[in-house]
Structure 1
Amino acid sequence: MVMRMRLALLVLFSLAVTPLLARAVDIHQLRQLAARNNVTCILVFGDSSVDPGNNNRLDTTMKGNFPPYGKDFLNGRPTGRFSNGRLATDFIAEALGYRNIIPAFLDPHIQKADLLHGVSFASSASGYDDLTANLSNVFPVSEQLKYFLHYKIHLRQLVGKKKAEEILRGALLVMSMGTNDFLQNYFLEPTRSEQYTLEEYENFLVSCMAHDIEEMHRLGARRVVVVGIPPLGCMPLVKTLKDETSCVESYNQAAASFNSKIKEKLAILRTSLRLKTAYADIYGTVERAMNNPKQYGFTVTTKGCCGSGTIEYAESCRGLSTCADPSKYLFWDAVHPSENMYKIIAADVVNSLDQDLLL
């Protein structure tokens, strides 16, 4: 049954990329399969890759709640998502039949019913290292975990203690961060680079990740999906700052090394905590799309859609003109993927949800 659900979800995602085939799929049946396997909701932790607008409530420049962000969102408005449309976690939630978006936990318009289907505690510009978040005055993971505890309290008030624990046991917790730890912290600021070699810093970040997962487990989580970091050296901003036309290999090597350490630690946590874990290889997903753009519907992979596409993101993207068709661009701004790329990432995240995680 679990394998059937996994295959069905993969079919659904392929249809998100090729909508003309959608009429042949029984969406209702797919969602029934998810329900039978007790996947209750999605709870999200991380950075701008999964923040739907929590930073809107913070005094920080790391926001995306202004045009042209949200240009292709459901109602054409900016929400705080660093994309022209939805994020990967939104597409995953839609496939499972919960909602077509995952709301921000701090959204003032959030409804009680939203708590039953999932929320995001993520904060753009955050990372596994608390210092990373402090540099931009955003929520570190420790603060995101405090909001997770608040969520748990609200859930108990809504459905009772027993049902709340049931929901948490069946929830998929998604962690997506790490990019800022390298790009905004280690490679830019002197503090960590003076304290650690690059390999030591990778090990430090992995230890932070493990501590966070242990705390999630203590609070009731039993299924955790960790998303790796993309090929950092291929981001338009990095190539511009390093004055390179091709991907910066040293940055990509750091990303690949860090990802391998994440996978090793997850294998250990799976045994020590009796936790169900999965690793989502975003590095490979982005790399495949860059190497085979036509196969994924892209015509531009070297720059973003906003402004010049080489350096603008967040505040520097405010009010700028954009490309005519963002769906043809792998990047939306000089750092973040387009909505179309997030669809592809979401498909690969679902592919990482193996039988051990879903049972």
Structure 2
Amino acid sequence: MARKVTMAMILTLAALMAPLLTGALDIGQIRALAARHNLSCILVFGDSSVDPGNNNILQTTMKGNFPPYGKDFFNARPTGRFSDGRLATDFIAEAIGYSKIVPAFLDPKLRPSDLVHGVSFASAASGYDDLTANISNVLPVSKQLEYFLHYKIHLRKVVGEKKAKDIIKYGVFVMSMGTNDFLQNYYLQSTRTEQFSLTGFQNFLVSCMSHDVEEMHRLGATRLVVVGVPPFGCMPLVKTIMGTTTCVESYNAAASSFNYKMSEQLAALKTKLGMKIAFVDTYRIVEHAVNNPTLYDLKETSKGCCGTGTIEYGDSCKGLSTCSDPSKYAFWDAVHPTEKMNKIIADEAVKSLGVELLT
């Protein structure tokens, strides 16, 4: 017999939805939702925005496992995260309530028990286009997915076949990349610019992203959060290279239109695959913080905290002095956000995840 929907039930659902839809973030509510939907695992794919240290063991210069990186991480420890502290995915894990960080799958110190609540396969300097990763000798998405298969094997050994299958089924897959495809690959290299117009390259990247999502679905993914690219025209390094003190609007336009194309394709994939998919509009979040710093208790949004804050990142940031209070900065180095900015992004991602779980 069909259950009668009463006005009381509608009002109760509206009350549950209101904090998420209006922007208020209730961690208790998020954790209750996560428990109700058996959500205890986060599996992460992408670039430096979500790489907690996989690149540490690779033969690449794209690393951040030295000071001053990690200045505000637990015990001031540099882990390979390109930030002063935690990444957005670490804060998402904490919001769900099972762990304060998402460890790197290739970390030699990874414990079998860590596998249960998820890992990151992300690799700094990677992208949707395999060529982007190949330029820096890092892990393309295809290799990250290969490591995911290894993860599944190890997980089965820890918890058994059925439990492992459920962990994957109810877990949240996170994809965060794309910036390197434009900045390192398209704008600096000639291979793709000779093959594609900017619009054509955006469409190519969307097709790559779509293929990755379908492959994840084939491997068991049912819930996915895709993080859009930020307004990379506002990155201190980009402004320095372009000789301007203001955001480079042509680059921001490319980022914005790419995000739109991604969100459109994800909507189609959601219907086609029957997946729960949330899109996090990082462009809007970062742009709003850069233009309205006082709303986020920020004071500096035009340069990074490391060195001069205009050109240094990765190796060139190694051993340099930093600003006294990174929590007042939007950027940690000339490319990557501070822990404070990552937390702002994570809060938006958790709200998107919460709304998706309620539908």
Instruction: Please state which band the TM-score falls in when normalised by the shorter chain.
Output: over 0.9
Aligned residue in 2 for 1:233: 233
The CA deviation at 1:40 is: 2.4
Determine helix, strand or coil for the equivalent of 1:353: helix
Q: Mean alpha-carbon deviation: is it higher for 328-337 or for 348-357?
A: 348-357
User: 2:158 — aligned with what?
Assistant: 158
- Cα distance in 1 between the residues matched to 2:13 and 2:232: 34
Cα distance, 1:341 vs structure 2: 0.4
Give the Å deviation of 1:217. Answer: 0.5
In the TM superposition, what is the alpha-carbon distance from 1:34 to its structure 2 partner? 1.8
Instruction: Give the TM-score of the pair, scaled to structure 1.
Output: 0.93
For 2:302, what is the secondary structure of its paired residue? Answer: coil
| 8 A Cα contact 1:91 1:343, kept in partner | yes
CA contact (8 A) 1:54 1:104 kept: yes
- Counting matched residue pairs gives 348
| AA partner of residue 125 (structure 2) | A
Separation (CA, whole Å) in 2 of partners of 1:166 and 1:260:
33
Q: CA deviation at 1:12?
A: 12
> What is the match of residue 346 of structure 1?
346
Equivalent residue runs for 1:48-67 within 5 Å:
48-67=48-67
Residues 1:358 and 1:132: Cα distance change in structure 2 (over 3 Å): farther
Whether the 8 Å CA contact 1:12–1:95 is kept in 2: the answer is no
- The CA deviation string for residues 85-142 of structure 1, in whole angstroms up to 9 with x for no partner, is 0000000101111110000000111111111101000000000000000000000000
Tell me what 2:3 maps to. none
Q: CA deviation at 1:5?
A: 7.4
In structure 1, what is the equivalent of residue 305 of structure 2?
305
Root-mean-square deviation over aligned CA pairs:
2.0
Larger Rg: 2
Q: Which runs of 4+ in 1 moved over 6 A?
A: 1-13
Conserved in 1, the CA contact under 8 Å of 2:127 and 2:133? yes
AA in 2 matched with 1:247: C
Counterpart of 2:136 in structure 1 is 136
Asked whether the 8 Å contact 1:31–1:95 carries over to 2, the reply is yes
User: In the alignment, which residue of structure 1 is the partner of 2:171?
Assistant: 171
TM-score for the superposition, normalised by structure 2: 0.93
Provide the C-alpha distance between the structure 1 equivalents of 2:23 and 2:255, rounded to a whole number of angstroms: 30
* 1:105 partner SS: coil
Structure 2 counterpart of 1:271: 271
SS in 1 for 2:225: strand
The change in CA–CA distance for 1:332 and 1:354 in structure 2 (over 3 A counts) is same
Q: Tell me the CA shift for residue 57 of structure 1.
A: 0.7
Q: Distance in 2 between matches of 1:7 and 1:223?
A: 22
How many Å separate the matches in 1 of 2:246 and 2:59?
Answer: 36
Aligned to 1:261: 261
Provide Cα deviations, 1:254-313, integer angstroms capped at 9, x if missing partner.
000100000010011011111110100000000110111011010000000000000000
> In structure 2, what residue type is equivalent to 1:165?
K
Cα deviation digits, residues 159-180 of structure 1 (max 9, x gap): 1211111111111100000000
Distance in 2 (alpha carbons) for counterparts of 1:315 and 1:228 = 26
- Other structure's SS at 1:301 match: strand
Give the counterpart letter for 2:236 in structure 1. Answer: P
1:181 maps to 181
Distance in structure 1 (CA, Å) of the matches to 2:155 and 2:344: 32
CA distance in 2, matches of 1:84, 1:2: 39
Tell me which amino acid in the other structure corresponds to 1:163.
K
Rounded to whole Å, the distance in 2 between the matches of 1:9 and 1:75 is 33
Distance 1:2 1:105 in 2: 38
The residue type paired with residue 31 of structure 1 is R
Which amino acid in the other structure matches residue 36 of structure 1?
R
Q: For residues 14-53 of structure 1, what are the structure 2 equivalents within 5 Å?
A: 31-53=31-53
Q: What is the letter of the counterpart of residue 351 of structure 2? A: N
Contiguous gaps of at least 5 residues in structure 1 = 16-24
User: How far has the Cα of 1:350 moved from its partner?
Assistant: 1.2
Percent identity of paired positions between Structure 1 and Structure 2 = 67
Question: Aligned partners of 2:279 and 2:215: how far apart in 1?
Answer: 18
After the TM superposition, which residues 107-122 of structure 1 pair with which residues of structure 2 at under 5 Å, given as runs?
A: 107-122=107-122
Provide closer, same or farther for how the CA distance between residues 5 and 33 of structure 1 changes in structure 2, counting only shifts above 3 A.
farther
CA distance in structure 1 between the partners assigned to 2:192 and 2:69 by the alignment: 32
Aligned 8 A contact 2:303 2:309 in 1: yes
Q: Conserved in 1, the CA contact under 8 Å of 2:20 and 2:354?
A: no
The 2-side partners of 1:118 and 1:10 are apart by 27
Q: Secondary structure at the match of 1:43?
A: strand
Q: Tell me, what secondary structure is at the counterpart of 1:214?
A: helix
The whole-number CA distance in structure 2 between the counterparts of 1:181 and 1:2 is 41
Q: What amino acid is the match of 1:217?
A: H
In the aligned structure 1, how far is the partner of 2:98 from the partner of 2:13? Answer: 18
Q: Distance in 1 between matches of 2:189 and 2:347?
A: 35
Distance in 1 of aligned mates of 2:31 and 2:15: 12
Distance in 2, matches of 1:2 and 1:259, equals 31
> Using the alignment, how far apart are the partners of 2:15 and 2:232 within structure 1?
35
